[in-house]
Structure formats: C-alpha cells, structure tokens
Structure 1
Amino acid sequence: MPHSFDPYSALPSVPDFGLHSTDIADGKPLDAAQCSSLFGGPGEDRSPQLSWEGFPADTQSFAVTCFDPDAPTVSGFWHWAVYDIPATVHELEAGAGAPGGKYLPAGAKMLANDAGGQSFLGAAPPPGHGPHRFMYVVHALDTAELDVPAAASPAWLGFQLFEHTVARARITPIFETPT
C-alpha cells in the first residue's frame, strides 16, 4: 500500500484544474514506458503525455514536475522538473522529457532530475520496498518566467513554485518493482 503522506498538503491551498493523460492514471500502475532501466529494471524513461484545461484565465506560465515522495530518502526523489512553459501550451506529448529538452515547447526549461540527468527519469523503486506514488503535477503560475538558474535543483524550483502557483493539477499513478 502506498504511503499516505501528501507533501502538497503542507503547501498553501490553491484551486485544482483538469489534468489528463493517455499514458498514466490516478492509482493505476505505470507501464514500462514510464519506468526506468537506470537500476537494471525494464523501462524506457519516456515521459507521459499530459494535457490540461480549466486553469485560471490569468495564468502566465506552467511548470510540470514528477516527484516520488515514497523514495527511501528523507527528501523523496525528483524524476522531472520543467518550468517556463508558455501559457499558450496546454499539452506535452509523450517523450517531451527526452534528454536535453529537445521536445519541449519553445521557452520551456528542464532541470536535472535527482539522478543528475537533464531528462525525465522513470520509476525504479528498490525491489521489495512496496508501491511508490509518482506525483505528476502541472502548476499554473502568476509569472511568465521563474528566477531559477539552469543548475538549480528541483527543490529550488519548488521554492519558486511555492511563491507563484495559483492553481494545481495532479495525476498520481503507482509502481512497485517486483522482487
């Protein structure tokens, strides 16, 4: 059973909006495409397709993150962090998190994940650790650009999101590496 702590519950409450995907769903296991081969498991490290609507009309940009709060660390594990997505963009195609951000929309920036790669890193919980939640979140922001250096960590991005998020949309699939 996934852990119950919701790290977003510690943040200021903001309105929700709609987030959809052809690749992932709330509470459903991830496919191999959204898993990682980094630790020897089957996986493709392909970011899922995401589309969103119903965000506030005055949204200036978006950020997209993927976080595993159940990782066996005191800080969880950031799998993906993209920001400065223009307000006119309402979808990321599957694979948009390819290395270097070559499939991201113009103007969008991607930080290194917690494994150090500037790309989407799929799920790879330790075998036998139980199911993990993978929180895919689209943040609607009140600014067109965030003050985040290219070498910043996703946690630093989180500080900026704390200050600028006006609405949030989430999908949280799960994954457990077989023993």
Structure 2
Amino acid sequence: MKLTVSGIEDGNPAPEKFAFGVFNEDDHMSFGANRSPEMIWDQVPEGTRSFAIVMFDPDVPSIADDANQEGKTVSKDIPRVDFFHWLLVDIPARMRCLPEGEDSDGVIPKGKGSGGGPVGVRGLNSFTQFLAGNPDMAGTYFGYDGPCPPWNDELLHHYHYEVHALDIETLGLSGEFDGASVRNAMKGHVLASARVIGTYTLNPDLPECQR
C-alpha cells in the first residue's frame, strides 16, 4: 500500500499549517492553523473492508516536569513514549483520500466532539491528558490535533502518519477510546499499512536543518 501526505516528504519537516503550536519569539509558542493534512492512499489489498488512520509522535518525554519551563531543557536522554495526535477508524473501504482540513481547521479550546468524524469514527487523542491541568484548555480532544512538542526539547520529534487496511468493516470502538485501544482492536486484522514520517520542533536552538 502507498500513502501520500500532501506537503510532507518522508523524513522531512512538516509544514506549520498542520501544527497545533508554532514558534513565537516572545512567548515561545502560539497556536497554529492546526489543519489536518490531505491523505491519499492506493495500492489497496483485496479483501479490505475498512481503513484506520493513526498519527502519533514516539518522541514525547516520559517525564514532562521540565517541559516548556523557562531556564530548563528537556534532555534528549529522557525515555520517550507515544503521543497520539489523530485516531480515525471505520473509514469505508471505498475511500482513497481525505482532503486537507477535513478533520481539523484550527485549534478548538477544550477539544472537538466524539463520534462521527468527516468519515468514520474519531478516537480520543493525547491532548486530553496533556492539557488536563489547564483550566482554559482542559477537555476531551477527539480526531486530529497537530504537532506541538515542548519548545525546550533537545530532541527533534518525528510524526508518524499511518493508514491501515483492515479485513473488518468496524473495529467496534465507540466513546472515549484511545490509541492503545485502536492498536489492540486492529491486531490480526491488518492486511497492509503505509506510513509517512514528518519532523517538527519548536526549539530554535536545534540546528537550522531540523527546523
């Protein structure tokens, strides 16, 4: 299976328009356009009955005490964990693309709703936990919300955009299901997968080639 994420060449920086947070000289970070990217997939295997889109960042620090703190840095040596940015499942087998901005077009404080997305069913992304302590932003974040790594992180972040062809019409998930639930439900049902990786950072101290 082949996947194209418009505007992102595999292994290269993702455009700011897809980001939840963009660099700001005065405050380190401000809200970005947060548009979901156009996804186009083909070379689909026979027997495909639905698709699932999963986007995640495997470079999120497992200990976030120093994240976005003045005078501190997030060491590149801290163990990293997956942070899910986009979960969209039960996409009909007839689909071969999702237009830009279809599942997100701007930052929505307290998050987007659950249930049906542009197609399929939205899952709960990891901003739900990350923003839980922020009274202005806390809420349930479903569907797509883009890159927003700590602005003081020494590590460049890699964003994995994936499409999975499945042999079932539905994963049977509803409500506040998360990335782990999607991965568990897909086990034994994946006929083929495709991935594009885009990089992103808000740290101006990282080399120019990484920004």
Identity of aligned residues (%): 30
| Candidates 175, 178, 181, aligned match of 1:156 | 181
| Candidates 45, 53, 58, aligned match of 1:56 | 45
After TM superposition, the runs of 4+ consecutive aligned structure 1 residues lying more than 2 A away are 37-42, 98-103
Give the AA of the match of 1:112.
Answer: L
Q: Deviations over 1:69-108 (max 9, x none)?
A: 0111253200000000000001011112223477612xx0
Structure 2: any 5+ residue segments left out of the alignment? 23-27, 63-79, 105-111, 129-140, 205-211
Structural RMSD (CA): 1.9
Q: Which residue of 2 aligns with 1:5?
A: none
Q: Which moved more, 1:134-143 or 1:94-103?
A: 94-103
- Compute the TM-score of the two structures, normalised by the length of structure 2: 0.71
CA contact 1:44–1:122 (8 Å) conserved in 2: no
- Compute the TM-score of the two structures, normalised by the length of structure 1: 0.82
Give the AA of the match of 1:18.
Answer: K
Structure 1: any 5+ residue segments left out of the alignment? 1-16
Q: Which residue of 2 aligns with 1:166?
A: 191
| Candidates 143, 148, 171, aligned match of 1:119 | 143
Alpha-carbon distance between aligned partners in 1 of 2:172 and 2:188, rounded to the nearest angstrom: 11
Structure having the larger proportion of residues in strand: 2
Give the AA of the match of 1:131.
Answer: L
Q: Deviations over 1:115-169 (max 9, x none)?
A: 1211311111112322111000000001001121221112111101223111001
Alpha-carbon distance between aligned partners in 2 of 1:31 and 1:45, rounded to the nearest angstrom: 10
| Candidates 120, 123, 137, aligned match of 2:162 | 137
